[in-house]
Amino acid sequence: MAKTIGILTAGGDSPGLNAAIRAVGKSAQRRYEMHVIGFKDGFSGLIQNRHIRLDGDSLSGILSKGGTILGTSRVKVHKVDVGDGTRIDMRPMIQRVVEDHDLAALVCLGGGGTQKNALRLHKVGIPVVTLPKTIDNDVWGTDTTFGFDTAMSVATDAIDRLHSTAHSHHRIMIAEVMGHNTGWLTLGAGLAGGADAILLPELPFEVQAVADSILQRKAGGSNFSIVAVAEGAMSAADKAEHDDLRRQLDELDDDADDSELRERLNTFHVGRKHSTERLAEKLEELTGLEARVTILGHVQRGGTPSTADRLLATQLGTAATDAIADGVTGVMIASRNGEAVPVPLEEVAGNRKSVPLDHPWIESARRLGIAIGD
């Protein structure tokens, strides 16, 4: 009997997901004569056994489509909210679904949260293989993730477009870029788009230092500036406050009441929601230039995947099928030095790939005189 592979997409949508689904499906069928089924809406659909057959017709024409034909959701498999606030470990139910379909493996496409979920399934004996997907490029163990190149191109194009209006109105134009708690998108798009200041989560910034760099440009005859700021970037003062709250929580005894500290931390994060607008107000005050904010948001996640993302998703997808055919599971198929390499999930899950402070892109930014805020 032909083997069957299951596949799902989880977490945020990302360009290249459909290319990866197509790669797994077509290579499984054509090279190994395996059947492929897709579970709808991520781990939620897996738990409910909502699936479709992925064959020639359903895989045709999806290579260039953004999003995911399977749908997605955010679910933690070991504590699923069943609607009344009760959380249940759904791994036994998932195990039954996997056994009912006699799956050789379950392929999970996703970012950091998906890698954690996959490891939880692996630990209870469910055969899983993952592919690294996220526009944030923060999955540990892989040189890059599919979705990143497309999103970086979108952000670069947006910054390009801000130059003309910034110059026309003599303004500071601030572009808030996605990236969760890492600065890969902002750094790449800011550098490629010619930003004058780039603010990253990895480098807490001093607002005065940013203002001083803008004033230096103004004194040199440049009466506008472009600032690319990551959504997770913090001023040095905010970073100190955040880290102090986290430290106090970590130092509490296990049986201590932490409700007050957690409320203060929650209040801190709520206040951060408008941090880019507050940055704009402060830069206006310090420079005398009008500042305007453009929040790129989810536009970075949508649209047609780039050539690079299609190629990466295809390479990793076909490699995942090869691994399953060889009986290799419990791994993420990573991109390393142009090769598709299996990496144990134990090494990946729970780790984040941040921008190293000595990364060549940061060094290039400094040599160009781009303000990093430190």
CATH number at residue 73: 3.40.50.450
Query: What's the CA gap between 341 and 132, in Å, rounded?
Result: 12
**pLDDT the model gives residue 374:** 82
Cβ–Cβ under 8 Å, residues 228 and 198: yes
One domain, residues 155 and 297:
yes
Shared-domain flag, residues 178 and 197: yes
The answer on 185 and 84 residing in a single domain is no
Whether 120 contacts 106, CB under 8 Å: no
163 in the same domain as 73: no
Instruction: Name the residue range of residue 27's domain.
Output: 4-147+305-348
Tell whether 170 and 288 lie within a shared domain. yes
In a domain, 134, yes or no: yes
Are 141 and 160 in the same domain?
no
Residue 61: closest CA among 21, 6, 8, 7: 21
Residues 153 and 290 in one domain: yes
**Helices 17-32 and 307-325: crossing angle, nearest 10°?**
40
SS3 79: coil
- Domains in the chain, number: 2
Is the pTM higher than 0.85? The answer reads yes
| Residue-level pLDDT at 112 | 96
CATH of the domain at 207: 3.40.50.460
In the chain, which stretches have pLDDT less than 50? none
Residues 143 and 153 in one domain: no
CA atoms within 13 A on the CB side of 13: 20
Would you say 67 and 302 are in contact if contact means Cβ atoms under 8 Å apart?
yes
CA distances to 90, 149, 168, 173, 291 from 285, in Å: 53, 36, 20, 15, 10
Same domain, 101 and 215: no
CA distance 132 to 141: 9
Active site members: 136
Task: Give the residue carrying structure tokens 């490699």.
Answer: 319
Tokens, residue 93? 């139910």
Q: From 261, 238, 230, select the one nearest 137 (Cα to Cα).
A: 230
Please state the length of the chain: 374
Q: What is the pLDDT of residue 1?
A: 53
Backbone angles phi, psi at 350, to 5 degrees: 90, -5
Residues 152 and 297 in one domain: yes
Cα separation values, 228 from 105, 277, 323, Å: 42, 13, 40
Distance (Å, rounded) from C-alpha 309 to C-alpha 320?
16
Q: Which of 243, 272, 301 is the last residue of a domain?
A: 301
Strand order from edge to edge, sheet including 339-344? 51-53, 35-39, 4-9, 103-110, 128-132, 331-336, 339-344
Tens-place pLDDT, residues 61-115:
999 999 999 999 999 999 998 877 788 999 999 999 999 999 999 999 999 999 9
